[in-house]
Structure 1
Amino acid sequence: MSAFINTLADIDSVISDADTDTTASAPATAMACHTCGKSLAESVSDDFCDESCQIQWRVSLAQSSPEDGGQAPDQDQPEAAPVTPVASWLGAPAGVVSRPGHELLDEVTAFLNRFLRFPSEHCAPVVALWFAHTHLADRLYVTPRLILSSAEPGSGKTRVLEIGQYLVHKPEMTISMTTAAIFRLLLDGPVSLLFDEIDAVFSTKGGNNEDLRGLLNAGYKRSATIARCVGDAKSMNVQRFPVYAPVALAGIAGHMPGTITSRAITIHMRKAAYGDDPEEFMEEDVELEAAPLRAELAAWAAAVADQVATARPERPDGVRNRAAEIWRPLLALAEAAGGDWPARTLAACKHFVIDTATSQEESTGVQLLAALRDLYAQHRTDRMRTADILGALHVLEEAQWSDMGDGKPLNAQRLARELKRYDVKPVVFEPTNAGEKAGRGYVAYTTNGAQAQTGLADAWRRYLPPLPPSAPV
C-alpha cells in the first residue's frame, strides 16, 4: 500500500514541475483577443476582450465556407433521403421497397414452384399476382375470386392456400365459416378469405348456403353491402354490412356455382407426375421464409397503389365484360411490375379466358350456342332443320347432348327452351336446294313479322368469343 502511495506522490511531483516550467516560460505579455487583438489582461475570458468580440467571432465563423474537401451540401442538387442499407439475409425492413416489382414477383413465383406442380406455366404467375393484389385490395374496385379445383384430392389445391396464408394481406383460412362471422370480420376492412373444401359447402348435401353464395357473389366489388336487421324486436335496425374482400376457394371440380365461377379465375389443378415430386412442405420453415417476401409485397403494393388503382391496362382481344373486369387488377399490377410481366400476364389472361375456357364454366345455353356455331360452320349453311340439328348433336363425342343428366337426350322442346333465352326461335324457312320442301328449324339471320326472332348469328356475336381468323364462317 505504501508503494502505491509513493507512486502517486511521484506523479504529482512531476505534474507540479511541468506546471512550474510552463508558467516560467510563458511570455510576459498577456494573450490577445481573437477578434480585435487587444490585450486580455483585464478580461475574464481567455479568448476575447469583451462579449461583443465573442459574438462577432461566432458570426464570422458561421458565415465562412467550410474547408471539408467537397463534403459541404451542393446547392445545385435537390435534397434526397439517405440510402438505407438493407441486410439481404434479413429481408427488407417493413415499408422498404428494395428491388423492382418484376424481381419480387419472380421470387414469389419461384417460391410457389418449389412446393407445387402447376398444370401450366401460366398458373404460378397468376397466383403470385393474386397474392400481391390482396395488399392493395382496398384501393381497387374489383377483386377477382381465385378458384382452385381438381378432379381428385391431393392435387395441390390446399397447398396453394397454405402458402398463401403467409403471403396475402390479413389471411383468414377456414374450412367452414358462417356468413355472420364473415360480416363481423369485414367490418374493419377487407381480409383475405381462404376457403378450403368449398365443394362440401356447395354440394347438394351441404344444406342451404344461399347467404354465403350471395356474399361471395356480391363481395367482389368494393361498393357491395348486404343489409341485415340487427337488434331485438323493440329496437330493430337495418345495418348494411360491407362484404368486399379477396376470396380464394379450393374444392373438387363440379360443385362451384356458376355465379361464382363467372367472377373468378379458375385453375384446374392436377396431381404431380410420378417422379416429379415437389419439395417437402414444412410449414414452420415456409412461415419463416415467407415473412420477408410478404413484407416486400406489402411495401411494393403500397408504392404502386395509386398507379394500379387508376390504370387502364392492355388486355387480349376477346376479353370483354366481366372477364375484363376481374383481370384488370392483375394486368395493372403486371404493368407496374415491369420486366416481362406485362407480356406474361397478357398470355396468361388469354390462356384462361379464351384458350382453355372449359364447358364446365359455361351455362348449358352457351355450350349449346358454341356447338351450333361449329355445326353450322361445318355444313357451311345459315339454316338447319331441328331434326338434323338434334341428330348431329347426339353423335358428338364428349358432349352432354345424348344425355342431359336425366338419362334422356336433348329433344326439340329442350332445344327450343334453351335458345329462347337468346331470342332465337324455330321458324319455317325455304330450302337451300331445289326440289326440297320447306323446313322448320333454326336460322342464323334475323327474321321479322309473324316469325320475328334475332337469329343465331346475333347470339354467337354476343355470347361467344370470336372465331380465329382461319376458321370458316
Structure 2
Amino acid sequence: MSHPARPLRVVPAARAPGPTPADGAAVLDEIGAFVSRFNAFPDEHCVPTLALWYAHTHAAEHFYVTPRLILSSAEPGSGKTRVLEVAQYLVHAPEMTISASTAALFRMVNAAPITILFDEVDAIFNPKNGGNYEDLRAMLNAGYKRSATIARCVGDAKAMNVQRFKVYAPVALAGIAGHMPDTITTRAITIHMRRRAPNERVEPFKTRRIETEAEPLREKLAAWVASVADRLDDAEPDMPEGVTDRSAEIWEPLIALADAAGGHWPDTARAACAHFVANNDPHKGSLGIRLLADLREVFTQRQADRLSTAAILEALYANEEAPWGDLYGKPLDARRLAKELDRYGVKPTVYKAEGKPTRGYLATGETGLADAWKRYLPADPGSTA
C-alpha cells in the first residue's frame, strides 16, 4: 500500500538564547506542566521523560547518542500524534512528517541539525504493505550515534562519487504497536499511550494559541540547555541499579540533563529510567529472545536442569499467549527449535532419563541454556540459571 508524500511541516527555530538563562529545574517543571495540558498519560513517569527528551534535542551534539522516542498504542486515537504536535513547539529545529522520503531526510539531516518527528510509522514498517524501507531503517539505526555516517553513491554514471551523509539526529516515532523494527526499539524509550477514559480531560489543541504560549518556553529551555552544555560533554551520571549496557546508554543524556537541572529532577529522572527499563518486557523482543524467555520459565516452573525436546515443545504449545503453537502457519518443531537456539550457542544433547537415551536440552554446561539466559535476558532470581 503506497502512501502519498505530504509536505513537511516546519516550525521556525527558537531565537538565539538570552543572556540570563532560567533555573533548570523550574524550566523543566514548566515544560512538564505545558505538556500535561494536552494529553492524558498512562503514568507519572511519561511527562518528565518527555520534558528531558525535548531538552536533549537542544544539546544533542554534546552527547554520543540520541535515544529514539517511540510513542505506541494498541489503537488509533490514543494521543500519539498530539504528543508530536506539542513537541514540535518545544524541540530544536523540528521537522514533522508522515511520509518523507529517505533521500529527503538524508539531505535535511546532513545539511543542519534537526529533530525528526515521524508520525504513522506503523504504515511504513508494516510488512503487509510490501514496501522496502531498509534505507530508512538503516538511517534511523545509524543516526542514533553521533559518529555515524551512511555512504551513498551520488551523481551520474560518468561522474559517480561516494558521499558520506551525516545522519545523527534526535527522532521521535509514533505508530500502532507491533510494527516497529526491533533494531529501532532497542535504541528507544517507548511510551505506550492509551485512549483517554471518559473522566480524563485535556485542553483542546489550538495551534495559534499553543504556538504563542510555547515560544517563550522553548526559548527558556534552549537558553538553559546552552548554559549547561559544557558540563554535558563529559557527564557520566550514575544509573539506577540494574540499568546497564544499552539501557544505560539510552538514558545517559536525559539523566545528565536532570543532574544539571537539580531540584527533584535527578531523582525524578532515575525513577522514570528504572520504570521504563523494568517494563521493557523481554517477550516483546525478537523471536529468539521470546524463546529464551519462555524456556527459562519452563525450566524454572519444573525446577529442572534438563528437559527432553518433546517435553519442551509440549510446554511451549501450552502457553496460549505465545506463538509456538502456530508459528507462521505451523507449530514449532524440533528442527526449528534447534535452529533458533543454535544462534545463541545452545545445542541439543543426548542424556539418560530413566535409563534411556533422551534427546533434549540442558540448563547448564558449555552448550546449555544458562549462559544464553544470562547474556540476553534480564536477571531472574528464580531461574535455574
Q: Scaled by the length of structure 2, what TM-score is found?
A: 0.92
CA distance in 2, matches of 1:347, 1:410: 39
Q: CA deviation at 1:97?
A: 4.4
Secondary structure of 1:115's match? coil
Paired residues of 1:158 and 1:250 also in contact (CA < 8 A): yes
From 408, 415, 423, the counterpart of 2:345:
423
Paired residues of 2:283 and 2:293 also in contact (CA < 8 A): no
The 3 A distance-change label for structure 1 pair 94 and 190 is closer
Q: CA deviation at 1:235?
A: 2.1
From 225, 247, 268, the counterpart of 2:192:
268
1:312 aligns with 2:236: yes
The 3 A distance-change label for structure 1 pair 314 and 386 is same
Report the number of matched residues: 370
**Corresponding residue for 1:253?**
177
From 147, 158, 169, the counterpart of 2:70:
147
From 382, 385, 388, the counterpart of 2:308:
385
Stretch moving more, 253-262 or 317-326: 317-326
Deviating beyond 4 angstroms after TM superposition, the runs of 4 or more aligned structure 1 residues are 470-473
| 1:127-276 alignment, distance < 5 Å | 127-204=50-127, 205=129, 207-276=131-200
| 1:267-416 alignment, distance < 5 Å | 267-357=191-281, 359-360=283-284, 362-406=285-329, 408-416=330-338
Secondary structure of 2:70's match? strand
Q: CA deviation at 1:443?
A: 0.4
CA distance in 1, matches of 2:383, 2:265: 31
1:458 aligned partner, one-letter code: D
Secondary structure of 1:446's match? coil
1:339 aligned partner, one-letter code: G
1:446 aligned partner, one-letter code: G
From 439, 449, 472, the counterpart of 2:358:
439
The 3 A distance-change label for structure 1 pair 237 and 122 is same
Secondary structure of 2:65's match? coil
CA distance in 2, matches of 1:359, 1:268: 16
**Corresponding residue for 1:461?**
374
Paired residues of 2:305 and 2:384 also in contact (CA < 8 A): no
Secondary structure of 2:145's match? coil
1:414 aligned partner, one-letter code: R
Listed as ranges, the gaps of 5+ residues in structure 1 are 1-91, 448-452
Q: CA deviation at 1:93?
A: 8.9
1:170 aligned partner, one-letter code: A
Paired residues of 1:226 and 1:240 also in contact (CA < 8 A): yes
Listed as ranges, the gaps of 5+ residues in structure 2 are 1-14
2:124 aligned partner, one-letter code: V
CA distance in 2, matches of 1:235, 1:397: 58
The 3 A distance-change label for structure 1 pair 145 and 459 is same
Q: CA deviation at 1:341?
A: 1.4
Supply the RMSD in Å over aligned alpha carbons.
1.8
Q: CA deviation at 1:196?
A: 0.7
Paired residues of 2:142 and 2:149 also in contact (CA < 8 A): yes
Q: CA deviation at 1:383?
A: 0.7
Q: Scaled by the length of structure 1, what TM-score is found?
A: 0.75
Q: Which has the larger radius of gyration?
A: 1
Q: CA deviation at 1:358?
A: 5.7
Secondary structure of 1:440's match? strand
CA distance in 1, matches of 2:265, 2:328: 43
User: Identity across aligned pairs (percent)?
Assistant: 60
1:117 aligns with 2:40: yes
* 1:261-313 deviation line (CA, Å, top 9, x unaligned): 11111111100111212111111111111111100111111111121221111
Paired residues of 1:95 and 1:298 also in contact (CA < 8 A): no
CA distance in 2, matches of 1:140, 1:213: 22
CA distance in 2, matches of 1:206, 1:123: 33
